[in-house]
Structure 1
Amino acid sequence: MATLIIQSATLVSAGHPLHLSTVDVLVKGGKIEKIGKSIKNEDKKAQVIDGAGAFLSAGFFDLNVNFGEPGYETKEDIQTGTAAAAAGGFTGVAVHPNTNPPLHSRSEISLIVNSAKGNLVDVLPVGTVSKKREGNELAELYDMKITGAVAFSDGTHSIQQAGLMGRALLYGKGFGGLIMTFPEDDSIAGGNKMNEGEVSTYLGMKGIPNLAESVMISRDLFLAEYNDAPIHFSTISTEEGVDLIKKAKAKGIQVTCDVAAHNLVFTDEDVKSFDSNFKVSPPLRTKKDLKALLKGLKDGVIDAVVSQHTPQEIEFKDVEFQIAKNGIIASQTVLPLLVKAGFTPEQIVEKLAVGPRRVLGLPLPEIKEGLEANLVLFNPSKKWIFDDRTNQSKSANSPLYGQELTGQVLAVINNNKVHIN
């Protein structure tokens, strides 16, 4: 990349001597050459970015994205998925195994690792817990780990067999293989389409009660404690889930969790429009749940915010709500949703850059002279329109499509590459 100078940005990096100071940053050859109050531009060919009113931090990391490759490239492939991630401020993503075939052996893990080489966005594959994501037999976890898998999950398939989950936790513990799980008891959820409550009754749709999540969280916390193993809950959505995890952390159980950004802004009230772009899994819950999630984030119970980026072709979304597929494209809209939810720049950096890497045991990129630049520059006050011109994904399934949003990523830098929105 060419020489780049970011001017007059507020640095957000807890523990850094210039934390919350206005700085200029000179990046040359992919490395941070200089950080200072005012850097004189001596290179006429240098690209200059005005960071006034913007914040500079380590690049964001997303613990939950779906790219479709292999098998569902018509929804999203690695190139378009990473383009959307970069536009959303992410310099690293953990891609989940909701593919065909699923990422359940070293072959699929190698495919992702090799296909993503040289990208601005670091792509870390999450292997399956069970073969074919069927929940019956453990996949070759260790083989996938040494090939590049950063964690293990059956993606949108919740692991129903307690014995299998217990064995996975115990086995993974032996080589540092983190088990990530989507907590939902299928026998309680019943394949229903939205949150169970007043709105589902009003709309005449069968609902998924909070109990489906809390029962599974409770079970898996017992298993994690019994096996003295770490566990991560993906996309929790209920007040009860937050409470259970809070108590488990206080007890010393090795538990972390994340929440999808859309569950911090939207509720089941939004489903009244029957817009299938509000159909997600876990479903949008009540205002009471939303408030508990926000409090859980601010209290440190919830470790990270994720996009849960789930592209779908138009034929799976432009249908009746009951038969539409779950999911929204979200890599580019996490920042605006957190701004709308009232998060400060420091809280945004904590939940999008620091917390996710801490969950996976990854080092936080340092903002220091002489080191590789892994940076995001974002302005929480800048407005932009999410439409065909700005959307980087292959798909367009988002309830925010066509709207003016507040909070924009201006630039991301990683792996000697730069993306400017």
Structure 2
Amino acid sequence: MRLLIKSAKIIDPKSPYHLKQKDIFIENGKIKAIEDKVDEKADKQITYKNLHVSQGWFDSSVSFGEPGFEDRETLQNGLDTAMKSGFTSVILNPNTDPVIDNAALVQYLKTKTQSHIVNALISGALTEQSKNQQLAELFDMHQHNAVVFGDYKKGIQNANLLKLALQYTKAFEGLVQVFPIENSLSEKAQMHEGEISTSLGLKAQPRMAEVIQIKRDLDLLRYTDSKIHFSCISTADSVELIKQAKKEGLDVSCSVAISNLIYTDKKLQDFDTRYKV
């Protein structure tokens, strides 16, 4: 199979072709030429206005549904969609039914997804059934190639439980992922606290609900000398806290939902549900 991609802007900061407009010739899955103009005969030619090419994308948090919520999305359909959207790897969240909290379920997901071109990585639950009470089978799931452990969209309210998780996973270099939220400050909140939430009359979540939790979790990280990932941070204060922690040498990382990079709560003024995510 000979494929010719015409006049594509290459997005790859590590490449000498970064931000350059080039033809790309691919033969049997391997790039054979990147030139201003390629005249090779091809079985298929791709030409689009404003075409861009980049390395495969990675999504660290996807919720397909299977097992238990196949009506929401199956593994096959989710991975097919990821492939068509340019993603080469994704991490599957454990918020299924049953919750992915043991090695058998991790192995089930690996078996179901192993033949797909998209690499499906597995996130195991941090606690049994994600109930924030007892640690799940972290080491056994790690042995079956779970890459991270966290309770999806649930803050770990028990500080000692998180401390134990950080100490335990340190022994096998596992990664704990936390959703930084203090539940008592955010229960039933529908949006960010501010002028907009007040004018709309909606129950709101103050930024300190996130910041307080991150401060506590960073203290636990210092104590355990382990590693942690904060999922879906949404405030500038959180960015500063994590930036300072990294300067200290703590093994910490974070991610942010793309909507929080682009929009603010002002988008909710007209109750447009497209922005209520």
- Alpha carbons of structure 1 residues 32 and 197: separation in structure 2 relative to 1, 3 Å: same
Q: Which whole-Å CA distance do the structure 1 matches of 2:59 and 2:110 have between them?
A: 16
Give the structure with higher Rg (CA).
2
State the Cα deviation string for residues 146-197 of structure 1 (Å, max 9, x = none).
2121211111121111111111112222222111111001111122222222
Q: Which whole-Å CA distance do the structure 1 matches of 2:32 and 2:170 have between them?
A: 40
Among 264, 267, 272, the residue aligned to 1:270: 267
Q: Contact 1:7/1:52 (CA < 8 Å) preserved in 2?
A: no
Displacement after TM superposition at 1:276 (Å): 4.2
- Alpha carbons of structure 1 residues 108 and 275: separation in structure 2 relative to 1, 3 Å: farther
Displacement after TM superposition at 1:118 (Å): 2.4
Aligned-partner residue type, residue 204 of structure 1: G
Q: Which whole-Å CA distance do the structure 1 matches of 2:270 and 2:104 have between them?
A: 43
Q: Which whole-Å CA distance do the structure 2 matches of 1:226 and 1:245 have between them?
A: 16
**SS of structure 1 residue aligned to 2:146:** coil
Q: Which whole-Å CA distance do the structure 2 matches of 1:272 and 1:88 have between them?
A: 31
Structure 2: gaps (5+ residues)? none
| Displacement over 6 Å in runs of 4+ | none
Match of 2:245 in 1: 248
Higher deviation after alignment, 267-276 or 247-256: 267-276
Structure 1: gaps (5+ residues)? 281-421
Q: CA RMSD in A?
A: 1.9
- Alpha carbons of structure 1 residues 37 and 64: separation in structure 2 relative to 1, 3 Å: same
- Alpha carbons of structure 1 residues 148 and 33: separation in structure 2 relative to 1, 3 Å: farther
Aligned-partner residue type, residue 84 of structure 1: T
Among 213, 217, 221, the residue aligned to 2:214: 217
Q: Contact 2:147/2:174 (CA < 8 Å) preserved in 1?
A: yes
- After superposition, where does 1:286-297 map in structure 2 within 5 Å? none
- Alpha carbons of structure 1 residues 30 and 207: separation in structure 2 relative to 1, 3 Å: same
Higher deviation after alignment, 19-28 or 154-163: 19-28
Q: Which whole-Å CA distance do the structure 2 matches of 1:130 and 1:158 have between them?
A: 11
- After superposition, where does 1:39-188 map in structure 2 within 5 Å? 39-43=38-42, 46-50=43-47, 53-188=50-185
Displacement after TM superposition at 1:211 (Å): 0.8
Q: Which whole-Å CA distance do the structure 2 matches of 1:114 and 1:240 have between them?
A: 41
Aligned-partner residue type, residue 171 of structure 1: Y
State the Cα deviation string for residues 339-393 of structure 1 (Å, max 9, x = none).
xxxxxxxxxxxxxxxxxxxxxxxxxxxxxxxxxxxxxxxxxxxxxxxxxxxxxxx
Aligned-partner residue type, residue 134 of structure 2: E
Q: Which whole-Å CA distance do the structure 1 matches of 2:84 and 2:268 have between them?
A: 28
The two structures have a TM-score, normalised by structure 1, of: 0.62
Q: Which whole-Å CA distance do the structure 2 matches of 1:88 and 1:219 have between them?
A: 37
Match of 1:308 in 2: none
Match of 1:5 in 2: 4
Q: Contact 2:188/2:203 (CA < 8 Å) preserved in 1?
A: no
The two structures have a TM-score, normalised by structure 2, of: 0.92
Displacement after TM superposition at 1:74 (Å): 0.8
Aligned-partner residue type, residue 5 of structure 1: L
**SS of structure 1 residue aligned to 2:15:** coil
Match of 1:301 in 2: none
Q: Contact 1:7/1:49 (CA < 8 Å) preserved in 2?
A: yes
Q: Contact 1:98/1:156 (CA < 8 Å) preserved in 2?
A: no
